[in-house]
Each structure stands twice: as C-alpha cells, then as structure tokens.
Amino acid sequence: MALRYLRPALDIPQIYLYRAPVDFRKQANGLAALIEQELGHSPFTGALYAFTNRHRNKIKCLMWEGNGFVLYYKSLAEEKFKWPTLSEDLLPLTGEQINWLLDGYDISLLKGHKTLHYESIN
C-alpha cells in the first residue's frame, strides 16, 4: 500500500458522514452553514464532516482546526465512492473507517468482531 500523507488522522474523536449528496460548488463556509443550519451542530468543535456529490466520485471533508477550516477534497478519476445508503442524515465513523472509505472500501460491509465486556470469569 502506498503511503498517504494528506489523510484524516486515525484519532480524530468525532467524524460524521453526511449521507445525502451536496452541491459541490459549496466551499468551506457553505458546508459549515449546512452543518449548522441543517444538522444543528456547531462546525467549530473540531469534528470532521464528510460529504459527497451526486455522482459519488468526489469527497469533501470539513474540519475546524482552531483558527480556520481545513477542507480536504478528493476526486476520483474513474470510479465511485461506496457511500452508505440513506437512513439518517449522519453516520458516525472512526478514523479508520473514513480512511477505508477514501481507499474505496464499502464501509457498510467492514465490521469487526463485537467487543465483549465481562465482569467475572464465572
């Protein structure tokens, strides 16, 4: 696998995938307004929000980084992103999942073993 340097960090505490396609003429301020007005979230918390276009061949990720917005943009040359189907507006993701999505994996199919919590061996 090739090294990728411009990627969301694996330890970003909050990552949200916006499931509906958005108008990709929107830049940072337009996406921040969508986060604030449609989702009722503050775009200034440091959470990362991922968006796609209607054709599912582009992704924009928006994140506030203390003194300004970071806008990550990826446009595929030939393929499409495997975007989860609509059920709710937002889907929370981990840093690993957003990077899988950027690599072209279908994140709805990638599920690890469930975490078990025991209190006693008996």
- What residue has token string 């986060």? 35
Q: From the CB of residue 57, how many other CB atoms can be counted at a distance below 10 Å?
A: 15
DSSP label of 42: -
Please give the pLDDT value at position 11. Answer: 83
Please classify residue 28 by burial: count the beta carbons closer than 10 Å to its beta carbon, then call 0-12 exposed, 13-18 middle and 19+ buried.
Answer: middle
Does the pTM of the predicted model rise above 0.85? no
Contact 102, 59 (CB under 8 A): yes
Alpha-carbon distances of 14 from 20, 40, 56, 57, 71, rounded to whole Å: 19, 15, 22, 24, 16
Residues of the chain with pLDDT under 50: none
Please give the pLDDT value at position 111. Answer: 67
